[in-house]
Amino acid sequence: MNEKIQAQDLSAVSETMLATLYSHAVESRRPDALIHDPRAEELVARIDFDFARHQMGEDDQAATCVRLRQFDRFAQAFLTAHPDGVVVHIGCGLDTRFDRVDNGQVTWYDLDLPPVIELRRKLLEETPRYKMIPASAQAASALDLAWLDVVDVYPGKPFLFIAEGVFMYFSDAEMRRLVLALRERFPGAELIFDVASPLIVWLQNLSLARMKANFRMRWSLRRYDALEQWSPGIRLLEAWYYTSLKESIPRLQKLQTLFRLFPPLGKGMVILRYRLDQSLVQMEEQPMKDKSAVWRYVIAALVGAVVGGLAVALAGRLLPKMMDRMMDRMRSEFPRQMMARMQAEGCDPMEMCQRMMAEFRAQEQRE
């Protein structure tokens, strides 16, 4: 039990999972921890790897853990609605989400490349509710779709597919193939993943180039609801950005300020929650949703009409009073002031009249 486990034969992309695991463990030990992950602490202690060489800065660690926490919350919300559902974690790396969100009923699959799953199996034990799937080494972890046959053995059960920090390394064609395959095999399933805008992908790839990394991000979305155009029924349910944070996190203060000042950066990284083939799920509830939308429009129209009527009425009462006030001031003050200025400045009466009229109008506007 005290013998260290070697982390070998990992690709450059997969090796990043060790830095991520270490950030979870380090964060879990902080007094102001954003997450609590004792299993991550245990795994770090058991793996023979120079974690210090890959240690993240405080800002990056906090951002990574906030993202992980939001994925956990989405998974917990799914399990609250479907306690005995099936969850497939695509590109799981060494993440320990099952331990963090297990409700005692869920059936969970962790999916990744064979070297990653081999390492996981040295560290973790499978159970009837927790299983691991090695995907083909000939392709990226999710793209050898033979794994669909392994998990497609629960007819009628709701499915959730999670991919954290994975899909940006796929091509657009690969993503379409995967999403459409999931939609066909698991209609009504939920898919939760993170993706970046083209701007963020470009910036990240510049950073990877400077680091001389031998991999690049490939997939981005200009519109986060773009998957709805890939096939009928696919529907975006929710989008979460770092700017969605309601709390103030001191370690993220600079980042949060930057995101507020530059919205394209603040919404450049997003976690998306989709439903695949919404048309086949809860059809009986759809009319209620439609009625709710209609009533919202009706209420908005009524409020707009009332506010607009009040504004018109108020303007109708105030404008005449303002005009009368202006005319009274002009009749009482204008001749006296004009004569005094004419005498002082020796100006032409017509020129002086035009100048003073302009000054009166400007003064009324200021008041």
Last residue of a domain, one of 257, 281, 305: 281
> Do 170 and 306 lie in a common domain?
no
More confident of the two residues 345 and 224: 224
Confidence at residue 16, expressed as pLDDT on a 0 to 100 scale: 79
Q: What pLDDT, in 10s, does the model give residues 103-146?
A: 999 999 999 988 889 999 999 999 999 999 998 754 444 568 99
Contact indicator for 24, 65 with CB cutoff of 8 Å? yes
How confident is residue 321, by pLDDT bands cut at 50, 70 and 90? very low
- Verify that 255 and 124 share a domain, yes or no: yes
- Give residue 240's domain range: 5-281
Q: Are 36 and 87 found together in one domain?
A: yes
Q: Which of 227, 260, 281 is the last residue of a domain?
A: 281
Return mean pLDDT, the chain. 80
pLDDT in tens, 14-25: 667 888 999 999
Q: Using pLDDT thresholds of 50, 70 and 90, give the confidence band for residue 273.
A: very high
- How many domains would you assign to the chain? 2
Q: Give me the pLDDT at residue 301, please.
A: 47
244 and 302 share a domain?
no
pLDDT at 349 over 80: no
| Strand bridging mode 130-134 / 159-163 | unpaired
Q: Do 333 and 184 belong to one domain?
A: no
Where among 251, 281, 311 does a domain terminate? 281
Q: Is the pLDDT of residue 159 over 70?
A: yes
127 and 209 belong to one structural domain: yes
Instruction: Let me know whether 317 and 175 are in one domain.
Output: no
Same domain, 276 and 299: no
Same domain, 316 and 268: no
Q: What pLDDT does 312 receive?
A: 39
Q: Which pLDDT belongs to residue 122?
A: 92
Give the count of beta carbons closer than 10 Å to the beta carbon of residue 29. 12
Cβ-proximal residues to 190 (8 Å cutoff; 6+ apart), any chain: 78, 158, 159, 160, 161, 237, 273, 274, 275, 276
Same domain, 190 and 324: no
Q: Which of 206-215, 269-278, 303-312 has the lowest mean pLDDT?
A: 303-312
Q: 235 or 260: which carries more pLDDT confidence?
A: 235
Same-domain check for residues 212 and 193: yes
